[in-house]
Structure 1
């Protein structure tokens, strides 16, 4: 897809924390800059992997502002701003617009289950009207987590009512047929479809999708960049196979502590293991098995990071 604002590989960035579980902005900015230097075109901050819903409104603003202050360009960040509260969603989205972000990722209002399409249309209409022009709105389809899927009819209504405002979708459903249906229905209107599953990157690009926004990109973005650049051929196929293998390793244990463990061991920085409840760090046994799973893919040591032997010194 041409002219996609976040076309390519986007990491759903881990939110680094201090031992007392406050945002660790220095450590997070360092990781963000490494991602941009190692295959990422953009950064999905404060999403599911970034534990956004474990942070308060003021903390979420602090994180975005802190990353910008530390040299992470606002233009490459797509912060998650969707909340159960309409007022909070609007406040965070306007804040992101004022700080120079080009787009935000919107969860549906997820507390009340089984809302109608009419109810969701009313909600997102209010968001669009209250936020105003100047920032692209991306829908976040993750029904396993939110229990609120986006129907094709709803997306079509939003595109018709707000031309150029609802710019795309991150589909973390894992249902490729659903992603393909979105592309077939709306790509001709410039609607950007991003897979939330690494194993589909090469396929979605071939179908007319825009790229990926994935958790495993915290560690496998090097290979995602090859797939995005090459698309087809032996090198792209080998890189896509690595994406599939590392995705499997990333989901072999709970995803967020799994990725924190991989980055902690790869950098030798124990601080990456800090995590807010209800999530917990991996046990020693889990951590060793997690690392072994990543090693078995051939991805370790991660390009650009200290090898495990050095990290252990």
Structure 2
């Protein structure tokens, strides 16, 4: 096992800001990216589902990558989501992201069609062969309907440009096995597993909650790296209530993030959070800020 962090440790699955009229807000994206990096993110993942990729055009995706790369420079890695259910389209998106300056691409398993593992493997190899930048594979069977099986991941690890996994498979045993037998960098895509996955050799996280609490999420990893395991657990526990509300309350993470920060509306079919849900989120967010601004906090 080689513990590598090709895209950093603390990555934010960044939302896509829109204007009040629902158009792409590139100035808002630049400002948000700059803020997230200043608050401790060393990587930004754009054009994922948190970034409302199903409702942004290919041209908007490319413009967003260019704007954020311009804003953060070499202060953070920029990974562009390029996943689709169509291999040819995924390749086109990956090549466009590379041309726009992305440091890597996030490629999700083709969804809905539920291809067998041989086809899943061929899909990822086809994308990796088409670009010169590294890939992070996105394993989220609860959304795609298809797992990237551990044996498939171990074969794909031999490709020189397949370097990382965003792990939302909820299989810590399987992930531990792949981490132990390959050099793939494992990033938690589920906030409740950020610290457990890190403890078994993970590289860090790709987090939706990091849009609103980047410093607090990173603090748990910093404490763990410093050998302060109990402190890492305490800091991780402080973020759990907000993470649960944002990610497991029945509302999409994009909606809960935009209820907490000023980044414009969501695009349909998403709908904004209601007043009651927003008030609950706001209270939990303020409690987290209060608990981590004291001398014993973050």
Q: Which residue in the other structure is 1:120 paired with?
A: 120
Which residue is 2:296 aligned to? none
2-structure distance, mates of 1:216, 1:90: 29
Alpha-carbon spacing, 1:274–1:235, altered in 2? closer, same or farther (3 Å): same
Say if 2:295 is the partner of 1:299. Answer: no
Over the residues paired in the alignment, what is the CA RMSD in angstroms? 2.2
Q: 2:74 & 2:46 partners in 1: Cα distance?
A: 12
Q: CA deviation at 1:72?
A: 5.0
1:185 to 181, 185, 190: 181
Give the C-alpha shift of residue 302 in structure 1.
8.8
1:174·1:196 contact (CA, 8 Å) conserved in 2?
no
Counterpart Cα distance in 2 of 1:300 and 1:22: 34
* 4+ aligned runs moved over 3 Å, structure 1: 69-75, 300-303
CA distance in 2, matches of 1:61, 1:74: 20
List alignment gaps of at least 5 residues for structure 2: 294-298
Structure 1 position 234, deviation (Å): 4.4
Alignment of 1:1-313 (within 5 A): 2-73=3-74, 76-113=77-114, 115-131=115-131, 134-160=132-158, 162=159, 164-186=160-182, 190-231=183-224, 232-251=228-247, 252-254=249-251, 255-264=253-262, 272-295=263-286, 297-299=287-289
TM-score w.r.t. length of structure 1:
0.84
> What is the TM-score with the length of structure 2 in the denominator?
0.88
Distance 1:68 1:286, change over 3 A: same
CA distance in 2, matches of 1:45, 1:94: 15
1: CA distance, partners of 2:128 / 2:86: 14
Q: Relative to 1, partners in 2 of residues 1:302 and 1:243: Cα closer, same or farther, differing over 3 Å?
A: closer
Tell me the number of residue pairs that the alignment of Structure 1 and Structure 2 aligns.
287
SS of residue matched to 2:212:
helix
